[in-house]
A and B are shown apart, each in its own frame.
Chain A
Amino acid sequence: MSEVARNNAKGPAAGSHEDIEDEAIPAMQHLLDNPFILLFLGVVVPTVLYVIWGVMEIVGIPIAK
């Protein structure tokens, strides 16, 4: 683990990023790397499936005669 600290201390001199960024990042990895898309999905999916659908069903309950 101390290796990490040593590496970190080297900072930018330890190599530029460009030389390893040759391979395209797959779309799924992009998705998993983007916290805000995930946040969007994580809020929208339950809001639609659970909250909105559920509230619609409750609102639609008929009135007793």
Chain B
Amino acid sequence: MALNRMFRACPMTGLKVHEPTEALIKANAVAAVVSLAVGGVLALLITLTRWPAVHLLPPDWFYLLLTAHGLNMLIYWIIFFEVAILYFGSSLLLGCRLATPRVAWFAFWLMVLGALMNNYAVFRGDSSVMFTSYVPMPAHPTFYLGLILFAVGALIACFVFFGTLVIAKEERTYNGSVPLVTFGALTAAIIAVFTIASGAIILIPTFMWSIGLVDSVDSLMYRTIYWAFGHSAQQINVSAHVAVWYTVAAIIFGAKPMSEKVSRMAFLLYILFITIASAHHLLTDPGLTSNWKILNTSYAIYLAVLASMVHGLTVPGAIEVAQRKKGYTRGLFEWLRKAPWGNPVFSGMFMSLVGFGFLGGISGVILGTEQLNIIMHNTIYVPGHFHATVVIGTTLAFMAITYFVLPAIFRREVSFTKMAQWQPYIFGIGMTMLALFMMGAGTLGVPRRHWDISFSGNPMGYEFPGAAYLMMGLASIGGVLAVVGGAMYVLIVVHSVFLGKRIETPGFERVRMREGYAPAMQPSGVALQAHGSAAHHAWAAPGTFTLAVVFLASFILYYFVNWKYLATVWPLK
């Protein structure tokens, strides 16, 4: 059959690779990296402007570039990459042809068109409305139209993913349940559908308002529904990067999930509850009741936080079990010390996990506590928090998996291997500095999206304490370091893809696959002996558990520090 001739067997992973899928993964990954490169240049200029001692750009350029930075990073870099992950998680992991590659290409070009149009609107200069484009501050109609086209493209890509799941099941390319990583990708896709639908509900009327068809759009309604899009988009990232963590644990260590049930239930909690935390942004807004705020901001009793805490244990736990099986059993942490820290796939993934948990996760819960939000809302604490989640968490995880994708999908050796070893560290450390010092400055009240915290020449201005300036400077030094790390990544990727050494392995072959039919299941008893039993052994991962307890202790401590601080401010009712 014609379709089935388009597979090749991957000698690295044993996966059957559908070649149209491979081409689509490449295209989406390239678009992602281009967006990252653009966003990175903007990041440098922005961070040099918020560095009080440098203060590089004039205000109009600062606000313009900050808008473009948010869009290119938070939307284009990440969603293009996530579409690649969806295709990887469905077609490749299930050994299945991709549903309707032509439609997938249509989706891709629609997304490219949308991204270009939206960027065009921003660089025209009349749409410096920030990533959030709150009404009634107007942007050029192409700003909204570009976003809408991009979102429609991404939605189509999600349905290509769902279609591929259906085909794989019909054609029996796998047995039983989908792999856990595919399940994680499914979680991301489901959240994406809700996200994009919400975006459509609010951006379409806003577009109509911008061309004069609608009189006005209510600002509170806009913010409420917009955040079902804007915040949930970041929850797609969480699901996607957790799926990447599991992938890396599998390909580097051959680690088996400690328990399929627990990990999948954790993803189910994401599916059900993670998106309602869009309320994080509305905790100081008028008119919404505390009932609504508390239930939504807490992901319904913090069930999505519980899910993240579970993933945060099971991923390193599975790695620990696999490492201990290899004989790294001394003490609590030999498994971790002897991990391949020189392999950027691992080092990037592990920093992503730790940074996301300790910095992004804890600060996110604090920010999202109804009353604590009062002392942080719209301060630079907020970007500090989400640079820890989206950049250290998601971007670093995506960078890490890239070092696997280059040889596996692009069939190129990673260029500049020494630089690649250093890259995750430089990026990770820079971004950690940026996030930490931004949060520090935020607790001193420094506002986000602000060109001049010195209020020079303004008799009404506020004089921030010296510590705030110091921290803004240190954050910017971290930002510059992260830009260097990001530039290294872009250089390595571009060089590898275009000039890297082609990988020609004897194992490379086109495979004919008869339609469908995966191998039969292994009898479960054998498999249990082979791998599973270790995980079920009592306290199979004591080192991970210790780390988890350290995490919880810091969480609790920091939580109460913030309540203590809140208790000292003016009484409010």
A interface, CB within 8 angstroms of B: 1-5, 7-12, 14-17, 20, 29, 32-33, 35-36, 38-39, 41-43, 45-47, 49-51, 53-55, 57-58, 61
Q: A11-B517, A14-B520, A58-B224 are in contact. Are A29 and B13 (CB under 8 A)?
A: no
Q: Which residue of B lies closest to A49 (CB)?
A: B276
Additional 17 contacts, C-beta under 8 A, given A2-B507, A42-B187: A4-B14, A4-B15, A5-B14, A8-B513, A15-B520, A17-B520, A32-B265, A33-B177, A35-B162, A35-B165, A35-B186, A35-B190, A43-B197, A50-B296, A54-B224, A55-B224, A58-B220
Q: Which of A1, A33, A42, A58 has the most CB of B within 10 A?
A: A42
User: B303: shortest Cβ distance to chain A, in Å?
Assistant: 11
Judge if B289 is at the interface, Cβ distance under 8 Å: yes
User: A4: shortest Cβ distance to chain B, in Å?
Assistant: 4
- Residues of chain A lying within 8 A (CB to CB) of residue B228: 46, 50-51
Q: Which residue of A lies closest to B190 (CB)?
A: A42
Chain B residues 212 to 232 lying within 8 A of chain A, measured CB to CB, are: 218, 220-221, 224-225, 228, 232
Bound CA span A40–B16, Å: 30
25 inter-chain pairs at a CB distance below 8 angstroms, sorted by A residue, are A1-B13, A1-B14, A2-B14, A4-B519, A5-B9, A5-B15, A8-B16, A11-B514, A20-B520, A20-B523, A32-B177, A32-B268, A35-B162, A43-B197, A46-B273, A46-B276, A50-B228, A50-B276, A51-B224, A53-B296, A54-B225, A54-B279, A55-B225, A58-B221, A58-B224
Cβ A14 vs Cβ B276 within 8 A: no
Q: Which residue of B lies closest to A50 (CB)?
A: B276
- Residues of chain B lying within 8 A (CB to CB) of residue A33: 177-178
Bound CA span A49–B272, Å: 10
How many positions in chain B have a CB within 8 Å of any CB in the partner chain? 60
Judge if B362 is at the interface, Cβ distance under 8 Å: no
User: B301: shortest Cβ distance to chain A, in Å?
Assistant: 12
- Residues of chain A lying within 8 A (CB to CB) of residue B287: 57-58, 61
- Residues of chain B lying within 8 A (CB to CB) of residue A4: 14-15, 519
Judge if B191 is at the interface, Cβ distance under 8 Å: yes
Q: Which residue of A lies closest to B166 (CB)?
A: A35
- Residues of chain A lying within 8 A (CB to CB) of residue B514: 11-12
Bound CA span A5–B16, Å: 8
- Residues of chain A lying within 8 A (CB to CB) of residue B300: 49
Judge if B411 is at the interface, Cβ distance under 8 Å: no
Bound CA span A57–B287, Å: 7
User: B391: shortest Cβ distance to chain A, in Å?
Assistant: 25
Judge if B137 is at the interface, Cβ distance under 8 Å: no
- Residues of chain B lying within 8 A (CB to CB) of residue A2: 11, 14, 507
- Residues of chain B lying within 8 A (CB to CB) of residue A54: 224-225, 279, 282, 288, 292, 296
Q: Which of A16, A32, A45, A55 has the most CB of B within 10 A?
A: A32
Q: Which residue of B lies closest to A2 (CB)?
A: B14
Bound CA span A61–B219, Å: 14
Q: Which residue of B lies closest to A23 (CB)?
A: B524
Judge if B78 is at the interface, Cβ distance under 8 Å: no
Cβ B191 vs Cβ A42 within 8 A: yes
Cβ A51 vs Cβ B225 within 8 A: yes
Bound CA span A49–B273, Å: 9
Chain B residues 245 to 289 lying within 8 A of chain A, measured CB to CB, are: 254, 264-265, 268, 271-273, 275-276, 278-279, 282, 286-289
The 6 closest A-B pairs by CB, nearest first: A15-B520, A7-B519, A42-B190, A5-B14, A1-B14, A42-B271
- Residues of chain A lying within 8 A (CB to CB) of residue B186: 35, 38
Please report whether the interface of chain A is mostly helix, strand, loop or mixed according to DSSP: helix
- Residues of chain A lying within 8 A (CB to CB) of residue B221: 55, 58
- Residues of chain B lying within 8 A (CB to CB) of residue A9: 511
Judge if B355 is at the interface, Cβ distance under 8 Å: no
- Residues of chain B lying within 8 A (CB to CB) of residue A12: 514, 517
Judge if B422 is at the interface, Cβ distance under 8 Å: no
Q: Select one of B16, B165, B194, B520 contacting A46, CB under 8 A.
A: B194
Q: A33-B177, A54-B224 are in contact. Are A39 and B190 (CB under 8 A)?
A: yes
- Residues of chain A lying within 8 A (CB to CB) of residue B224: 51, 54-55, 58
Q: A49-B295, A58-B218 are in contact. Are A8 and B521 (CB under 8 A)?
A: no
Cβ B275 vs Cβ A46 within 8 A: yes
Q: A1-B13, A15-B520, A45-B273 are in contact. Are A57 and B289 (CB under 8 A)?
A: yes
Q: Which residue of A lies closest to B522 (CB)?
A: A7
Q: Select one of A14, A41, A45, A57 contacting B292, CB under 8 A.
A: A57
- Residues of chain A lying within 8 A (CB to CB) of residue B282: 54
Q: Which residue of A lies closest to B272 (CB)?
A: A45
Q: Which residue of B lies closest to A4 (CB)?
A: B14
Q: Select one of B162, B194, B513, B521 contacting A43, CB under 8 A.
A: B194
Q: A1-B14, A58-B221 are in contact. Are A38 and B268 (CB under 8 A)?
A: yes
Chain B residues 183 to 201 lying within 8 A of chain A, measured CB to CB, are: 183, 186-187, 190-191, 193-194, 197-198, 201
Q: Which of A53, A58, A61 has the most CB of B within 10 A?
A: A58
Cβ B518 vs Cβ A8 within 8 A: yes
User: A62: shortest Cβ distance to chain B, in Å?
Assistant: 9
- Residues of chain B lying within 8 A (CB to CB) of residue A43: 190, 193-194, 197
Judge if B40 is at the interface, Cβ distance under 8 Å: no
Instruction: Report B494-514 CB contacts with A as 1/0, cut-off 8 Å.
Output: 000000000000010001011
Judge if B175 is at the interface, Cβ distance under 8 Å: yes
User: B225: shortest Cβ distance to chain A, in Å?
Assistant: 6
